[in-house]
């Protein structure tokens, strides 16, 4: 996975952090650039955490835990305060958590966000961990960072920020679902009332809350055209240039192993699957 030795990786990560601080490469990781100017008080702690996050790599124990212990011993000798030392140690110990959560957990599942928020506990730590994670991934080697990973990190950041600031539960899930259903119905104003009511009633709350309205409308036209043509199997493709992914939408009747068949076809064609969502 790593293209470089640990020492070179750490130096390259510092280079990425300096790039973010200068404002270079904003299109690569826009959120990190937005957050960095507001972290002046934690600047030294962030730089030290980036420098030390893999310091214990290669040891038999968990390198994150050992690295945190090293940070607690080292930081005071570097002139860091007790508070900054603890921040560095926490970042080193948890430097893989955001990346692992974003890339391996369902970000539409509230428990995923709650579990991650329980680890982070504050918006300040969330900001620092986001930037450290960006530096870590980009410092691994060429071609490892892509827009899709950036999008996953942004989604995790925004959802967790809402929870940490109390915004997650301001409106109940049922109310948000009802509002989303109403927005979709209004956007389908050119459909007949009967067709609109039937279509809007097809979707469960997970679809209405996790798919943005533009894609919902795209799906609606796709499904209507497939139904009009009497197709039992239909596909639609959309390219996301920023995320560097191709989205394939498959409309099919349900049957056993349907997802595995589709996934197998993608892999056989040389595709690398980064995400999959199923809606019925």
Average pLDDT, the chain: 89
Q: Looking at the predicted structure, is the pLDDT value of residue 171 above 70? A: no
Q: What pLDDT, in 10s, does the model give residues 222-235?
A: 999 999 999 989 99
The pLDDT value recorded for residue 63 is 93
CB atoms inside a 10 Å sphere around CB 110 = 14
The pLDDT value recorded for residue 12 is 92
Q: What pLDDT, in 10s, does the model give residues 65-84?
A: 999 999 999 999 999 999 99
The pLDDT value recorded for residue 85 is 96
Q: Is the dihedral of CA 73, 76, 77, 80 positive or negative?
A: positive
The pLDDT value recorded for residue 199 is 92
Nearest-5° Cα angle at 155, 13 to 123: 70
What size, in residues, is the chain? 280
Average pLDDT, stretch 239-248? 84
Average pLDDT, stretch 96-123? 92
CB 205 within 8 A of CB 229: no
Residue with tokens 């926490």: 90
CB 259 within 8 A of CB 273: no
Joined together, the tokens standing for residue 222 give 């796709």
Burial environment of residue 212 by CB neighbours within 10 A (0 to 12, 13 to 18, 19 or more): exposed
CB 107 within 8 A of CB 155: yes
User: 50 falls in which pLDDT band (50, 70, 90)?
Assistant: very high
The pLDDT value recorded for residue 97 is 96
pTM of the model: 0.70
How far apart (Å, rounded) are the C-alpha atoms in residues 187 and 182? 9
């Amino acid at each position: 996975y790593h293209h470089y030795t640990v020492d070179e990786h750490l130096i390259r990560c510092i280079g990425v952090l300096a790039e973010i601080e200068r404002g270079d490469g904003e299109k690569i990781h826009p959120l990190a650039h937005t957050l960095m100017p507001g972290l002046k008080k934690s600047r030294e702690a962030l730089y030290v955490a980036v420098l030390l996050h893999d310091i214990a790599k290669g040891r038999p124990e968990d390198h994150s835990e050992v690295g945190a212990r090293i940070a607690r011993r080292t930081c005071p000798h570097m002139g860091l305060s007790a508070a900054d030392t603890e921040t560095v140690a926490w970042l080193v110990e948890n430097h893989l958590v955001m990346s692992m959560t974003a890339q391996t957990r369902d970000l539409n599942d509230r428990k995923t966000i709650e579990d991650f928020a329980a680890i982070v506990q504050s918006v300040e730590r969330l900001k620092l961990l986001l930037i450290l994670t960006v530096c870590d991934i980009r410092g691994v080697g060429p071609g490892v960072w892509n827009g899709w990973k950036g999008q996953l990190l942004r989604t995790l950041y925004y959802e967790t920020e809402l929870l940490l600031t109390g915004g997650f539960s301001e409106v109940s899930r049922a109310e948000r679902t009802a509002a989303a259903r109403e927005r979709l119905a209004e956007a389908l104003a050119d459909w007949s009332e009967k067709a609109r009511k039937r279509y809007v009633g097809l979707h469960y709350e997970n679809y209405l809350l996790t798919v943005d309205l533009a894609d919902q409308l795209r799906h609606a036209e796709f499904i209507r055209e497939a139904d009009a043509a009497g197709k039992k199997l239909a596909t639609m493709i959309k390219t996301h240039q920023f995320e560097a992914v191709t989205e394939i939408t498959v409309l099919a009747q349900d049957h056993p192993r349907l997802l595995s068949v589709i996934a197998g076809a993608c892999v056989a064609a040389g595709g690398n699957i980064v995400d999959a969502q199923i809606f019925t």
